[in-house]
Amino acid sequence: MRAGPLLVITVLFILLVLSLTAGVSVGAAPIPFATVWSIVANKVRPDTFDVVWSSGQESIVWDVRFPRAILAALVGAGLAISGATLQALTRNPLADPHLLGVSSGAAFGAILALVHTGLILGLLTVPLFSFAGALSATGVVALVAHLTRSHSADRMVLAGVAVAFVFTALGNLLIFLGDPRATNTVVFWMLGGLGLAQWSHLIYPAVVLAGCLSILMLKARELNALAMGDETAATLGIAVTRFRLLLFVVTALVTGVMVAFSGAIGFIGLMVPHFVRLLAGGDNVRVIPLSAAVGTLTLIWADIVARKIMTPQDMPIGIVTGLAGGIAFILILRKN
């Protein structure tokens, strides 16, 4: 491996460790960095360090903040790679899971599970309903594009915007018709939050992220060809329609699962790929893994800000990402 990529990987790993440490340490009850990793080490291998901390500190670190920080890392990476893929797939710099209706469909499915059906399938109910909603929204976008002959990337984005409005309206209708006692929970969930993170839940977004990221990295060169135009991709032997369908399904899967566990968090999928391309160029072989890494760091720090800005209450993380992302996007527009 060349020195450049090795250096980048090393720097990103160090930043990830420092960010996770800060995510676990910072909060209404600050805990020293050394104590954080001593508790983690003792959980992984008992009696590694002498116990000089309270049981309350141990519970905060291991049961509350550490799984929350890991969930932030997984969700940030998932939304970022979804946005990077959709932007290349549609050849539109504004494309992201929200703009194309994927997030709205995922939110619709999750609201249906939370308000109307209950956990009929156990812990998998919300993720499965959320994925089904995301996949349904993706299918409707494809159908609308086909019926209206919107085969160009720009017109497909317009179809996605229309579908997003429809699914958002249907989700609001479900909230209106549902039990008023569940409204506060659903509204907080729609604004994005990581407060319900649990160790037992993390396996689902982790497995989905690993699988989808692997597929997207393997298909990155083909995605480069598709980003140059359907004709160019076809001349290189790519089955354009099948390949586009595969990528839509992958992005729907990763978005649906992430939204199910974190709620609707905006601007990560839109902003992170732009920031990565400013630093690393437009080659998706680099953009996709770097988007995952930067998305991870971004959402961890957004969660830290969300927890500190209104201590001891948690501000919905979607508010933080929306404000920061909107300002950053304006600055990028002004620069380029």
Here the CATH number for the domain that contains residue 259 is 1.10.3470.10
Residue 62 lies in a domain: no
* pLDDT over threshold 70, residue 150: no
* pLDDT over threshold 50, residue 1: no
Alpha helices by DSSP H, listed for the chain, are 3-25, 33-44, 55-59, 66-90, 102-111, 125-147, 153-177, 183-190, 203-218, 220-227, 230-235, 240-262, 268-280, 284-308, 317-335
**DSSP string spanning 219-276?**
THHHHHHHHT-HHHHHHTT--HHHHHHHHHHHHHHHHHHHHHHH----SHHHHHHHHH
Residue 316 is given by DSSP the state P
* pLDDT over threshold 70, residue 151: no
Count up the domains in the chain and report the number: 1
> Which range marks the domain in which residue 135 is found?
68-335
Question: pLDDT tens-digit profile of 234-261?
Answer: 888 888 878 887 888 888 888 888 887 8
Q: Which of 201-215, 277-291, 309-323 has the lowest mean pLDDT?
A: 309-323
Residue 22 lies in a domain: no
Residue 32 lies in a domain: no
Question: pLDDT tens-digit profile of 286-296?
Answer: 999 999 999 99
Residue 53 lies in a domain: no
With bands split at pLDDT 50, 70 and 90, how would you rate the model's confidence at 72?
A: very high
What is the pLDDT at residue 69? 93
For 65-87, what is the mean pLDDT? Answer: 93
- What whole-number distance in Å separates Cα of residue 31 and Cα of residue 48? 19
What is the pLDDT at residue 230? 75
What is the pLDDT at residue 334? 76
Q: Which of 5-19, 148-162, 246-260, 279-293 has the lowest mean pLDDT?
A: 148-162
Residue 211 lies in a domain: yes
Sequence-distant (≥ 6) Cβ neighbours of residue 215 within 8 angstroms? 246, 250
Residue 82 lies in a domain: yes
What is the pLDDT at residue 256? 80
With bands split at pLDDT 50, 70 and 90, how would you rate the model's confidence at 154?
A: low
pTM: 0.87
For 186-196, what is the mean pLDDT? Answer: 76
- What whole-number distance in Å separates Cα of residue 331 and Cα of residue 191? 24
Tell me the percentage of the chain whose pLDDT exceeds 70: 95
Residue 313 lies in a domain: yes
What is the pLDDT at residue 302? 92
Taking alpha carbons only, the member of 259, 212, 269 closest to residue 90 is 269
What is the pLDDT at residue 207? 94
How high is the mean pLDDT of the chain?
84
Residue whose pair of structure tokens reads 């201590």 in the numeric block? 311
